């Protein structure tokens, strides 16, 4: 762990800039505002909000406690951020990408945007917690609480069918596995159960890796 608030805040500022660039490129892509309805961009926005708030608190810490006294902030929320953005990386790479999934534009600007939101931001978030976070941050029930974030997205998506209408490709749903019209309520419900299990397993993987690293750091 690097105990240096200046390095931490500098890293987080760079990460936040990537988030902003990714969101702006998404907004001006061929998909327009529709692209912001995907979990990818919702999770990137979650990252941006969390890290901007973290930057503000770390700057306050520097003013009051100096550069080298590291105080953790919003640890439970940080776990949820890591879980959601890691899911963005994993689901895109292993589920959506093999289906030649495209959000919005298919030109060169899309490729840059796609790399930022699916790879650069998630990987930078993971390295942020490796480099700058204390260990043993979470409680055994924390991963269950982290499920609130994807649940909110699910509600947002289902309500979006009525509120926002169809996407530019004519679909009512952002992802094929949520398409009630095509696959039916029962199939989508099963998909949601699988997704819930995936998020829960991912959450507990984060929890146990955090504790494992803590033990290793004690022995070093």
Instruction: Give the integer Cα–Cα distance in Å for 18 and 74.
Output: 22
The closest of 13, 32, 34 to 167, measured between CA atoms, is 34
Helix runs in 92-179, H state only: 108-115, 121-132, 142-146, 148-163
Task: Give me the pLDDT at residue 31, please.
Answer: 59
Q: Say if CB 167 and CB 44 are below 8 A apart.
A: no
Instruction: Give the integer Cα–Cα distance in Å for 173 and 167.
Output: 8
Instruction: Give the integer Cα–Cα distance in Å for 40 and 93.
Output: 12
pLDDT tens for each residue of 146-181: 999 999 999 888 887 877 777 766 788 888 889 898
Domain ranges of the chain: 5-219
The closest of 150, 127, 146 to 77, measured between CA atoms, is 146
Instruction: Give the integer Cα–Cα distance in Å for 206 and 61.
Output: 26
Q: Looking at the chain, how many residues does it have? A: 220
Q: Say if CB 103 and CB 35 are below 8 A apart.
A: yes
Phi, psi at 65, each rounded to 5°: -115, -5
Longest Cα pair distance anywhere in the chain, in angstroms? 57
pTM of the full structure:
0.86
Q: With cut-offs at 50, 70 and 90, classify the pLDDT of residue 184.
A: very high
Task: Give me the pLDDT at residue 99, please.
Answer: 66
pLDDT tens for each residue of 30-79: 556 677 788 998 999 999 999 999 999 999 988 888 887 777 778 889 99
Q: How far is C-alpha 176 from the chain's CA centre?
A: 20
């Amino acid at each position: 762990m690097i105990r240096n608030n200046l390095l931490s805040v500098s890293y987080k500022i760079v990460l936040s800039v990537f988030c902003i660039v990714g969101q702006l490129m998404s907004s001006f892509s061929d998909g327009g505002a529709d692209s912001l309805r995907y979990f990818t961009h919702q999770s990137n926005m979650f990252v941006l909000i969390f890290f901007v708030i973290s930057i503000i608190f770390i700057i306050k810490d520097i003013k009051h406690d100096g550069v080298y006294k590291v105080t953790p902030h919003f640890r439970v929320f940080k776990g949820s951020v890591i879980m959601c953005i890691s899911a963005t990386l994993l689901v895109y790479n292993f589920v959506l990408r093999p289906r030649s999934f495209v959000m919005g534009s298919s030109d060169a600007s899309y490729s840059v945007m796609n790399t930022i939101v699916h790879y650069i931001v998630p990987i930078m978030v993971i390295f942020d917690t490796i480099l700058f976070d204390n260990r043993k941050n979470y409680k055994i029930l924390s991963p269950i609480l982290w499920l609130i974030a994807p649940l909110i997205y699910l509600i947002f998506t289902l309500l979006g069918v009525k509120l926002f209408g169809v996407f530019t490709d004519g679909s009512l749903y952002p992802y094929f596995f949520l398409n009630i019209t095509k696959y039916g309520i029962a199939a989508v419900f099963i998909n949601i159960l699988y997704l819930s299990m995936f998020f829960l397993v991912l959450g507990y993987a984060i929890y146990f890796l955090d504790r494992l690293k803590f033990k290793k750091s004690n022995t070093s």
